[in-house]
Amino acid sequence: MADDKRGPRERMVYSTAQLVRAQGPAATGVREVVEHSGAPRGSFQHYFPGGKDQLVGEALLWSGDFAARWVATYPRTTSRPTPGGLFAYMVKQWKDEFTARGYRRGCPVMAATADLAGGDSAVNEQLRAALERWERAVVDELVRMDIPRRRARRLATLMISALEGAIMSARVRRDVGPLTTVVAELSPVLNAAAER
Amino acid sequence: MADDKRGPRERMVYSTAQLVRAQGPAATGVREVVEHSGAPRGSFQHYFPGGKDQLVGEALLWSGDFAARWVATYPRTTSRPTPGGLFAYMVKQWKDEFTARGYRRGCPVMAATADLAGGDSAVNEQLRAALERWERAVVDELVRMDIPRRRARRLATLMISALEGAIMSARVRRDVGPLTTVVAELSPVLNAAAER
């Protein structure tokens, strides 16, 4: 990561996303974010007058965009895009992360849901928007594969649900097995949807 | 819930599970648990000399057993058990919860994963055990339907992953739609596995 090319604002948002992924938003404090990001002390208030809520909300939107961009790169990786291939590509990002860097960091959307979705947190709107941006990117790819949009929405929900749950199981077990399993079990089903 | 029939120890474990479901373990404090449970002040140290870690660990094991027992009741609800029927039954518990009581409380295993699985928390062992007990109950039911154990393990991973992810999406959107979708999309696939 070319952290040094980012300004302090971007670094703080990025650091928040990474800390939230590892420990959830409840345990992530502003001071820890400032230290992790290497941003000048005192710059936090300047960039985030809305405080921790603003910071976490922007980290979630950043994460949703990051996930959406990853999904949009899929067609460049293959000459024969398929729904199963797309799902495997989404899952691969997580297998690579866990294999290379261990199980420390999970999905920020799941972390924010666990800590905040049960209450009336100010970031629930951004949480919803982050999930929607990611899901819309998946739907768009499926539609390009000639799957009707309505069906594509259902498959995107299934794909993201299975991926999120498998990320959870993989972290609990410290084993990428659940990620491998959901790809092997779902790919044929997803591909069958494209052949109708 | 017949809370009044439970002793203070059981009430504190139950309260911990409920608070963790709503806000995650990081934000759940011992004092809040004691108040929520109505247990006598000072009884906490007596019952939980291992402190908050012991309490959260026991709450997770309680939750895993609760989920496993629910799964084991499925055969009593139908004269023709099927894998898709079992999955719908597991999901129904969550649809009923969200419909009747709103989206305040999610899955305690997911909440603990989000806050703790990234570090070396003392409860990670119980977190793993809770997920395993639940998954084993699902595998046992699938094996009773004549699905070979190895395949049953894979399907159980898929079912629990899809359910967990759909719980997450349902809470984010405040809509049971994702739960309905994963049942509709997965049931035929699961049933096909039993017909081989």
pLDDT in tens, A104-124: 999 999 999 999 999 999 999
Cβ–Cβ below 8 Å for B114 and A113: yes
What pLDDT is stored for residue A88 in this prediction? 98
User: With contacts defined as CB-CB under 8 Å, which chain A residues touch B119?
Assistant: 22-23, 104
* Side-chain-side CA neighbours of residue A84 (13 Å): 16
A36 burial level (CB within 10 Å; 0-12, 13-18, 19+): middle
How many domains does chain B contain in total?
1
User: With contacts defined as CB-CB under 8 Å, which chain B residues touch A131?
Assistant: 169, 172-173
Contacts of A25 (CB under 8 A, 6+ apart): A56, A111, A112, A115, A116, A123
Cβ–Cβ below 8 Å for B168 and A161: yes
In a domain, A98, yes or no: yes
What pLDDT is stored for residue A1 in this prediction? 47
In a domain, A187, yes or no: yes
What pLDDT is stored for residue B2 in this prediction? 45
pLDDT band of residue A196 (cuts 50, 70, 90) is low
pLDDT in tens, A19-78: 999 999 999 999 999 999 999 988 999 999 999 999 999 999 999 999 999 999 999 999
In a domain, A16, yes or no: no
End-to-end CA distance of chain B: 42
Contact A1, A13 (CB under 8 A): no
Residue A15 has pLDDT above 70, yes or no: yes
pLDDT in tens, B140-173: 999 999 999 999 999 999 999 999 999 999 999 9
In a domain, A27, yes or no: no
Domain that holds residue A61: 53-194
In a domain, A8, yes or no: no
Ranges in chain B, pLDDT < 50: 1-2
What pLDDT is stored for residue A175 in this prediction? 98
What pLDDT is stored for residue A2 in this prediction? 45
pLDDT band of residue A193 (cuts 50, 70, 90) is confident
User: Token pair for residue B169?
Assistant: 């999406």
Q: What part of A 122-161 touches B (C-beta under 8 Å)?
A: 124, 127-128, 131, 154-155, 157-158, 160-161
Interval A130-146 mean pLDDT: 98
pTM: 0.96
What pLDDT is stored for residue B151 in this prediction? 96
* CA distances (Å), origin B164, targets A42, A166, B42: 40, 9, 36
Report the CATH number that the domain containing residue B18 is assigned in CATH.
1.10.357.10
Phi, psi at residue A138, to the nearest 5°? -65, -45
